[in-house]
Amino acid sequence: MNAAPTTDAPPARPGPPQARTLRDVVFVDGVRTPFGRAGEKGMYAQTRADDLVVRCLRELLRRNPTLPPARVDEVAIAATTQTGDQGLTLGRSAALLAGLPTSVPGFAIDRMCAGAMTAVTTTASGIAAGAYDVVIAGGVEHMGHHPMGSGLDPNPRLVAERIVDPSALVMGATAENIHDRYPHLTKDRADAFAVLSQQRYAAAVAAGKVQADLVPTATRHAEAGWGLATADEPPRPGTTVEDLAILRTPFRAAGRVTAGNAAGLNDGATACLLTSAQTAQELGLTPRMRMVGFAFAGVEPEVMGVGPVPATEKLLARTGVGIDEVGLIEVNEAFAVQVLAFLDHFGIADDDPRVNPWGGAIAVGHPLASSGVRLMTQLARHFEERPDVRYGLTTMCIGIGMGGAVLWENAGHDGGDAR
């Protein structure tokens, strides 16, 4: 048998990379578990955090049967406290537990309260660049198992070298600082906004609006046995401003921040399905909104709640969209005063119907890293009801002095010009 011919010619080199344009990224679907109250009396007290995520992943696949699981290119799951049942590279371990093929990779991500939001923007960037076609992004926080700050060891130089004020490490204290900086943002206004959040959430539930994206989730307890979570646990319907006026102010004597005008300590998970516009068409998936752009910005950690203001300003400047063109806004209600600071900056009334039409985190809860996708899933539902609205915003404040904002375009926009 003759030997293969040899040649002194150098091996062929690949040609130059082909020029590519960014692809449109679309939000196809989003789900969440019912949110629970953190602690031994909460419905998820003895339920694992990663199992909450798994339930969301499985539901996304069930609701979108034309998506072959092997087509998922990445699973990005956020958690603020990445240890225990929120550890072990959560995106990968949750993907395996959910039954996705072993070929599907995953990772964990942390940007405190904006974890899920960052999971979305990070993987969306990969879709836009052509690295992914299909991703699942979300977040989880089991604050009953992992209270905020548990296991942390902040570098003492942060305070010793006056890089931050000590209050920057206590989120409730940062909300009190906003009240100090903007005295016109009174406790009375904060309480009134909190009551409105409870009222709007209760009305949305009564109309059957919230339930469509809640994933019934199995719970277990050594004494109570098995259960099924089908509704959010934190809301307090019927709350009045008189009720809130007498609550104690735990972060400062005679302060203004209370358990009534702030989000609670909660457990819950979220997940959403993102694809390129072309892939959605190929797989028979229906886009509900298109990502226009996103931005994150830093602020003084002592007043971290004002973060949505510069993040939104940066986003609007980059996209060329004016705030008057944004017909729907989902802003996370970590504290009423930070929402009021955002509204005042943009000249929006406290009770503007464009803002959190179904209430917000003060009513439904804020399981830290999961909340960003709740905002997006809710906005997608608003878009379905409002084809006259073209643009919507999801925005939130972030611990240690940041804000995040994502601008979306309604996939069902009918060409109307609603504000």
What is the set of domains in the chain, with CATH numbers?
A: 25-144+164-409 (3.40.47.10)
Instruction: Work out the angle between the directed axes of helices 187-206 and 336-345 (0-180°, nearest 10).
Output: 100
Asked if the model's pLDDT at residue 381 lies above 60, the reply is yes
pLDDT tens per residue across span 230-264: 999 999 999 999 999 999 999 999 999 999 999 99
Cα–Cα distance measured from residue 378 to residue 360, given in angstroms and rounded to the nearest whole number? 10
Looking at 113, 179, 382, 413, which residue is catalytic? Answer: 113
pTM over 0.85: yes
Taking CA atoms, 296 is separated from 26, 70, 303, 308, in Å, by 20, 32, 16, 8
Work out the average pLDDT over 294-301: 98
Asked if the model's pLDDT at residue 91 lies above 70, the reply is yes
Residue 180 is predicted with a pLDDT of: 97
Cα–Cα distance measured from residue 154 to residue 159, given in angstroms and rounded to the nearest whole number? 9
Question: Which candidate, 334, 312, 340, 307, places its Cα nearest to that of 325?
Answer: 312
Work out the average pLDDT over 376-401: 98
Asked if the model's pLDDT at residue 123 lies above 90, the reply is yes
Cα–Cα distance measured from residue 159 to residue 167, given in angstroms and rounded to the nearest whole number? 10
The pLDDT confidence band at residue 414, using thresholds 50, 70 and 90, is: confident
Parallel/antiparallel/unpaired status of strands 391-398 and 402-410: antiparallel
Q: Residue 292: CB partners within 8 Å, gap ≥ 6?
A: 319, 321, 391, 407, 408, 409
Mean pLDDT of all residues belonging to the chain = 95
Residue 13 is predicted with a pLDDT of: 66
Q: Residue 87: CB partners within 8 Å, gap ≥ 6?
A: 79, 108
Residue 1 is predicted with a pLDDT of: 46
Residue 396 is predicted with a pLDDT of: 98
Looking at 56, 146, 179, 397, which residue is catalytic? Answer: 397
Asked if the model's pLDDT at residue 328 lies above 60, the reply is yes
Asked if the model's pLDDT at residue 2 lies above 60, the reply is no
Work out the average pLDDT over 306-333: 98
pLDDT tens per residue across span 330-363: 999 999 999 999 999 999 999 999 999 999 999 9
Cα–Cα distance measured from residue 195 to residue 241, given in angstroms and rounded to the nearest whole number? 6
Tell me the percentage of the chain whose pLDDT exceeds 90: 90
Looking at 142, 145, 179, 366, which residue is catalytic? Answer: 366
Count Cα atoms within 13 angstroms, Cβ side, for 416: 14
Question: Which residues are bridge partners to 136 per DSSP?
Answer: 75, 273
The pLDDT confidence band at residue 152, using thresholds 50, 70 and 90, is: confident
Asked if the model's pLDDT at residue 131 lies above 70, the reply is yes
113 labelled catalytic: yes
Residue 224 is predicted with a pLDDT of: 85
What single letter denotes the amino acid at residue 377?
A: T
- The angle at the Cα of 294, spanning 293 to 295, to the nearest 5 degrees, equals 140
Residue 149 is predicted with a pLDDT of: 83
Tell me the percentage of the chain whose pLDDT exceeds 70: 95
Parallel/antiparallel/unpaired status of strands 402-410 and 134-142: unpaired
pLDDT tens per residue across span 276-293: 999 999 999 999 999 999
Q: Which of 247-251, 277-281, 296-300, 415-419 has the lowest mean pLDDT?
A: 415-419
Query: If residue 54 lies in a helix (H) or strand (E), which one and from where to where?
Result: helix 49-63
